[in-house]
Amino acid sequence: MNAYQPQPEASRRILDDVLRASEQLAALPAFPDFDAALQQQVLEEAGKFVGELVAPLNRSGDEVGAQFNAGTVTMPPGFRESYQAFWQAGWPSLAGAVEDGGQGLPTVVEAVLHEMLNAANHGWTMAPGLLHGAAECIRHHASAELKARYLPRLVSGEWLATMCLTEPHAGSDLGLVRTKATPLADGRFALSGTKIFISGGEHDLTDNIVHLVLARLPDAPPGPKGLSLFLVPKFEPDGTRSAVHCERIEEKMGIHASPTCVMRFDEAAASLVGEPGKGLNAMFVMMNAARLLVGLQGIGLLDAAWQKANAYAQERRQMRAPGSASQAGQADPVALHPAIQRILATQRAWIDAGRVIAYRTAIELDLQKHHPEAAKREAAARWCSLVTPVLKSAWTEQAFAGASACLQVFGGHGYVREWGIEQHVRDARVAMIYEGTNEIQAIDLLVRKTLPDGAAALTTLLAELADDVGQSARTRQALQAFSGFVQKQLLPNTRGAGAAPDQPFWLADDFLRALALLLMAWAWDRMATAPHCDATAHAAFWRWVWPELDMRIAMMNATLSAPEHQPAML
């Protein structure tokens, strides 16, 4: 089966025709030299690089995998060479700040690059996936000395970075982290503890690795407020090897090319990043950037699975399709069978709408930072805050479910490794878990970001979306109706003295899904008024995706109207 082929033109159409991306971004003082032509050129070059150097390594990366041997990790064949070519060509620094050695391009260009990279080779892309976030974290929180030493190398991608958060007993609950940091005479700290699930904790892609580690100072209070952030390089500037060791790598369901490491810190010399007790805060910079990239990962993975299934459906002939004009005894391509068309068109509806929403989020990230007007910055911050968890959760879930639907197009061949489609299903599954599980994204959206301000930000977002709708009356009405549901049903039953404290937690998953569907309807309205709209995917959205909205509202109403029926398993 052929490897994934990037389609930069499809992304460009959404950027220019649907979102007026380069127009909006070029108007910002931060991007004086940016325009549509530059954007197009970068996307085309990115497509070439990804298609020629990264995509062909996907299958072998899965088959060979990262290999652990006595503390070292050897990446699959071709990985080091292609990664070296990647950073030397300047790809990691696209959206880095010019003063740090970056190219100062808008975030959305990097976003499209990462969508392509993830579609081409999820395992490979795990390596640079954290770079931008790590650089941002150091940029905002590290001392001048640390910045001078590490920032240029992380912006360029010459060195790679890790996020060392999880411990065996502390996953979603980082407050339980036990790794200790003891002050040393030279102002640094000795770090001791074990971290697990460290993507790229050890490898041979780069000559150095920069670990950002959550740990606890001796006098720190228990819980999340006692966590500080530290930096431990694999090699010190003088070449000394730090006392951080890869103990083993995990055998996983997928992304075999990405080493998931157990890292042991044995009084490793570490530098404090930011203030003591503010470690989680500093880490959140990385995590929020990572969540958009994980949403794009979902979109990319689904697109890769769709490409494979679509190609197979055109070639494979089985039975006559109903109403087919083919001659008796002649079999039609399975793409003509309604069940297959439904699968393909439905996934396309998710991919295209996902792109509109994700690319807009990347644009809003820059508007939030760079727009001269405070109100615009505030609106952009609102979008990013509310939409990022929706993207991360709904599109990683769809990547898995949709890749599985694409596998179904292959019949029995889909279950066989040689066709490559089952790898996408295995790879995609992890994105529902990492960077905050999808359930935690839903709680973030409803409990942390919607209920505390009485849904003020959400209500504004829904109104803005409704104002932006062009043709689709039902989208506008649904946005308004959902606003009414939030005000009249959701808020009164989840706030105040009478409300059960667990009530919102039963609603969070459905609430996030509802918002995902409303955002998709907005995205399809925007695409329908632009040139080149995919009418088949658009029809599939209304017929097979949209009806879930009423189902989610019915589920929430059932929960709200019968709080005494809360399941209680223990």
| Total residues binding its own copies (CB under 8 A) | 93
Whether 205 and 75 have beta carbons less than 8 Å apart is answered as: yes
Whether 120 and 196 have beta carbons less than 8 Å apart is answered as: no
Residue closer to its own copies (CB basis): 256 or 371: 256
E strand or H helix that includes residue 412: none
Is position 452 an interface residue for its own copies (rule: CB under 8 A)? no
Q: Is 99 a catalytic residue?
A: no
Is position 171 an interface residue for its own copies (rule: CB under 8 A)? yes
Residue closer to its own copies (CB basis): 368 or 441: 441
Which one of the listed residues 435, 439, 464, 548 is annotated catalytic? Answer: 435
Among 2, 72, 240, 318, binds its own copies (CB under 8 A): 318
Considering only the stretches 71-79, 103-111, 246-254, 357-365, report the one whose residues sit in contact with its own copies under the rule CB under 8 A. 246-254
Query: Minimum Å distance from CB 521 to its own copies?
Result: 14
Q: Measured between alpha carbons, how far is 243 from 284 in angstroms, rounded to an integer?
A: 26
Q: What is the dihedral of CA 468, 9, 293, 5, to 10 degrees?
A: 150
Is position 148 an interface residue for its own copies (rule: CB under 8 A)? no
Judging by DSSP bridges, how do beta strands 209-216 and 160-164 pair with one another?
Answer: parallel
Residue closer to its own copies (CB basis): 13 or 337: 337
Q: Measured between alpha carbons, how far is 548 from 381 in angstroms, rounded to an integer?
A: 28
Residues 78-137 that bind its own copies (CB under 8 A): none
Q: Measured between alpha carbons, how far is 206 from 127 in angstroms, rounded to an integer?
A: 10
DSSP strands (E only) in 200-243: 209-216, 227-233
Query: Minimum Å distance from CB 325 to its own copies?
Result: 11
Is position 439 an interface residue for its own copies (rule: CB under 8 A)? yes
Considering only the stretches 183-191, 284-292, 312-320, 480-488, report the one whose residues sit in contact with its own copies under the rule CB under 8 A. 312-320
Whether 382 and 412 have beta carbons less than 8 Å apart is answered as: no
User: SS3 for 223?
Assistant: coil
Is position 331 an interface residue for its own copies (rule: CB under 8 A)? yes
Residues 545-564 that bind its own copies (CB under 8 A): 547-548, 550-551, 554-555, 558-559, 562
Considering only the stretches 118-126, 131-139, 369-377, 398-406, report the one whose residues sit in contact with its own copies under the rule CB under 8 A. 398-406
Residues 369-388 that bind its own copies (CB under 8 A): none
Six-digit token string for 332: 């039609």
Is position 283 an interface residue for its own copies (rule: CB under 8 A)? no
Close Cβ partners of 551 (under 8 Å, ≥ 6 residues apart): none
Residues 485-544 that bind its own copies (CB under 8 A): 500-502, 504-506, 508-509, 536, 539-540, 542-544
Whether 402 and 306 have beta carbons less than 8 Å apart is answered as: yes
Residue closer to its own copies (CB basis): 172 or 477: 172
Among 118, 396, 438, 493, binds its own copies (CB under 8 A): 438
**Nearest Cα residue to 64 out of 255, 350, 336, 338:** 255
Q: Measured between alpha carbons, how far is 172 from 386 in angstroms, rounded to an integer?
A: 20
Catalytic residues: 435
